[in-house]
Amino acid sequence: MNLKDLQETYAAVNPASRQAYEDALGTIPGGITANVKYFAPFPLSFKEGHGAYLTDLDQHRYIDYVLSYGPLILGHGRKEIIDAMNEYLDQHGTLLYGAPHPGELQFAKLIQKYYPSIEELRYTNSGTEATLFAIRTAFAYTGKYKIAKFEGHYHGGYNEVLISVNPDVSKAGEASRPVGLPESRGISEQTLHDTIVLPFNDLTACREILTEHQDEIAGVIMEPCFGGTIPATKEFMAGIRKLTKELGILMIMDEVKTGFRVSMQGAQGYYGVKPDLTTLGKVIGAGLPIGILGGRRDILEMAAPQGSDLLSVHTGKSNAADVLYHSGTYNGHPLILHMGASTIHILANEFDGMLKHTERLKRGITEIYAKHGVHILTPGIGCMFNVCVTNLDNILTYRDLQKSDFELRQKLDYALLCNGVYNKPGNRYNMCTAHTDDVIDFTLEAYEKAFEMI
């Protein structure tokens, strides 16, 4: 079957999801509330989730490897987390204080236990907010107003970083000197000028570009594993840390995806590197919205209010020029922090078992592809990985990844959807503690059936 036939087969067996999508058109732009949720010809709509499984509107049951793009590391509806939520509400009575509460410090101390580079932190409501605040913080600390990011890396849906996330290589310049390309309408030429794009895993080129712009660049923001799965080499990571120190540029490690997934200490624990600033999200919220910006005390202290708040209108004055402003009604949400702490405590006991199941699934998928004469790589450290149909022996950069056979991967993904395995076509695999041996057995059997279909 070709890709179009597989998409038509998928559409034919999911009439309720199709109808839900069509009903949303005209009220919700494009029928979806986030562009990442779309895939052709329409995405599935779900009504239930339990453990490793989702059930859609057409009553189909799937093993879930999206896991809301990573947060549900204990699976759907883990009993201990639901119990923690109910216990909190029974004990405290309210969802929100809009004021300090003990859980803020308790959770901060728990994060510091695993991330010693985080001397102080502030809470946000998403990973995107955390990276946005990280960039403003870098500007404020250094007095410089350009940011450097890597080709292929994603840090959220705002202008400074919606550049060269998935660029057309034919328009993106030389590999060692990437040209910044916009990934959305509404990005100005000035923003393109102020965001410097770097080549991942090429320390020589990065040294040249960063040295050239050292008096302009406030920080280098990076995914330690781009897309969550393509890792920096240890030499490259150590080199970037050393180089940014030499040049007076802050190193911002975006661990929204890799935090508590590469290891309990995140990618910085794996690499043995202490960034100046770290962003976290996803896993730490137990499926609810949260983010963190943490890092060096001297940097974060800039956010401490000095006598009054920007919105304290009755003071008759503003100290905005002296303070790094950061606020948010839902920052440090008490219920989310309580459930997040419960998640981390459980995960600490189950992480090693999840790693074993991840490696078993990666081996099984590789063997099935090989049996059908197809070479693949499954890059990823910890409990996330990708499936790349490629003749390469290693993938180090965005441009290496572009040499993959995306059509074959998509065909398998649509065939898997028809056989009870849910992953957005082309997406990475996010593992959870509910992906036990029986779940993996079913997944590998579905892979065999998917190959038969195509």
Active-site residue (options: 146, 282, 362, 411): 282
ω into 116 cis (within 30 of 0): no
> Virtual CA dihedral for 236, 238, 239, 241, nearest 10 degrees?
120
In the three-class reduction of DSSP (H, G, I as helix; E, B as strand; rest coil), residue 436 is classed as coil
Cα–Cα separations (whole angstroms), residue 96 to 105, 161, 305: 16, 32, 22
How far apart CA 352 and CA 340 sit, in angstroms, is 19
How far apart CA 327 and CA 238 sit, in angstroms, is 33
Active-site residue (options: 21, 62, 65, 154): 154
Burial category of 393 from C-beta neighbours within 10 Å (exposed 0-12, middle 13-18, buried 19 and up): exposed
Amino acid, res. 190: Q
How far apart CA 408 and CA 401 sit, in angstroms, is 14
Reply yes or no on whether 154 is catalytic. yes
Active-site residue (options: 56, 64, 202, 254): 254
Cα–Cα separations (whole angstroms), residue 379 to 11, 171, 329, 388, 412: 30, 26, 39, 8, 18
Tokens of 184: 């959305």
* Pair 44, 17: CB distance under 8 Å: yes
Reply yes or no on whether 282 is catalytic. yes
* CA-closest candidate to residue 71, choices 259, 349, 253, 227: 259
**What positions carry a catalytic annotation?**
154, 254, 282
